[in-house]
Structure 1
Amino acid sequence: MAGSGQAQAQRATVGWLGFATGAAALIATLVIFWAGPFAPQQPAGVTIGELAAEIARSAARSMAGQPQPEPVAHPRTVDDYLEIGAGVLAGLAIVLGVAALIRHERRAATVSGIALGGLAIGIQLFTYTVMLIVGALVISALIYTLRDVFSDIFGGLFDG
């Protein structure tokens, strides 16, 4: 009987599947981060110019008491699907690792699947956080640059 339990512990099928899924998630996350974006993108100057114009129009509508336009759903791009796929693979790796732990499979395979899936999710969260901070700084600098326009609209509210 002791031999059959040991043979089952040596066959860490779910653990190794979790490891492979976590490795695929980590590779996909790194490829998306370094090689992306894969969908066509507007140049940064065009995007920032459109943002500045939209901020000015929104402020003018607000001051005139006009309603703001309804939100528009942006179509998904290949980048969105790749990021979702990498996140799903990372979550699946963690779930498979936990399932392997419950099945008492070899600890090296189970923990590595959980670690790789967690690392893939951590890299995604870290990059999104950095992008949000940089985006907030760009928007703040843009509003600061447009303070003359806003001071005319808001009657000197932004004068220092």
Structure 2
Amino acid sequence: MAETAPTQDATFGWIGFAVGAAALVLTLVTFWAGPFAPQQAAGVTLGELAADIAKAAARSVAGQEQPAPVAVPWTIDKYLEIAVGVLSGFAILIGVAAFVRHEQKRAAMSGIALGGLAMAVQFFAWTIGMIVGGVVLVGVLYALRDTFGGVFGGLLGD
């Protein structure tokens, strides 16, 4: 009778799967249900941005110093973003540990895949937010082209 090697249980693989699934669910919850911290209306934020840009340009032209930077307070949204990153990293590391232990490849790969997918979804959402923010900023600058006058040297056209 031929001896077969005992099968390795997939403890690390299934833990990685659970942690990766939790990271992916948390990512999707924060993406669709968030932000959870109170937010100002978009018009108020854009108005303040436009006023700050105009004041900064005026200070720059007058040769005055700009105000010191102010630290942004941490909110529940920032904590959730960090939690997703940590859970995603743990899922990937636990999946790699499952491969090192020669556990079932499907269980090990599922932790790595779910952790990577959670990171990818968060990065994708962040990238789209940066692109949209850049377009809005350019729109605000274009709308204030008369206010800035010659600060941009005719860059925005007449």
Where does 1:24-39 land on structure 2 (aligned, <5 Å)? 24-39=22-37
Q: Name stretches of at least 5 consecutive residues in structure 1 with no aligned partner.
A: none
Distance 1:97 1:71 in 2: 41
Q: Which residue is 2:88 aligned to?
A: 90
Identity %: 59
In the TM superposition, residue 159 of structure 1 has moved relative to its aligned partner by 4.0
CA 1:25 to 1:156, structure 2 compared with 1: closer, same or farther past 3 Å?
A: closer
Is 1:154 equivalent to 2:151 in the alignment? yes
Is 1:17 equivalent to 2:15 in the alignment? yes
Please report the RMSD computed on the Cα atoms of aligned residues, expressed in angstroms. 1.6
Q: Which residue is 1:119 aligned to?
A: 117
CA 1:19 to 1:62, structure 2 compared with 1: closer, same or farther past 3 Å?
A: same
In the TM superposition, residue 156 of structure 1 has moved relative to its aligned partner by 6.2
In structure 1, which of residues 54, 70, 73 is the aligned counterpart of residue 71 of structure 2? 73
Per-residue CA deviation, residues 85-131 of structure 1 (Å, 9 max, x unaligned), is 01110010000000100110000100000000000000000000000
Per-residue CA deviation, residues 46-90 of structure 1 (Å, 9 max, x unaligned), is 000000000000000000000111111011000000111011100
User: TM-score, normalised to structure 2's length?
Assistant: 0.94
In the TM superposition, residue 6 of structure 1 has moved relative to its aligned partner by 2.3
Distance 2:152 2:22 in 1: 56
> Hey, which of these two has a bigger chunk of helix by percent?
1
Please identify runs of 4+ aligned residues in structure 1 that moved more than 4 A: none
User: TM-score, normalised to structure 1's length?
Assistant: 0.93
Q: Which residue is 1:135 aligned to?
A: 133
Q: Name stretches of at least 5 consecutive residues in structure 2 with no aligned partner.
A: none
CA 1:88 to 1:155, structure 2 compared with 1: closer, same or farther past 3 Å?
A: closer
SS at match of 2:67: coil
In the TM superposition, residue 154 of structure 1 has moved relative to its aligned partner by 2.8
Q: Which residue is 1:6 aligned to?
A: 6
Aligned letter for 1:65?
A: G
Q: Which residue is 2:51 aligned to?
A: 53
Distance 2:67 2:105 in 1: 55
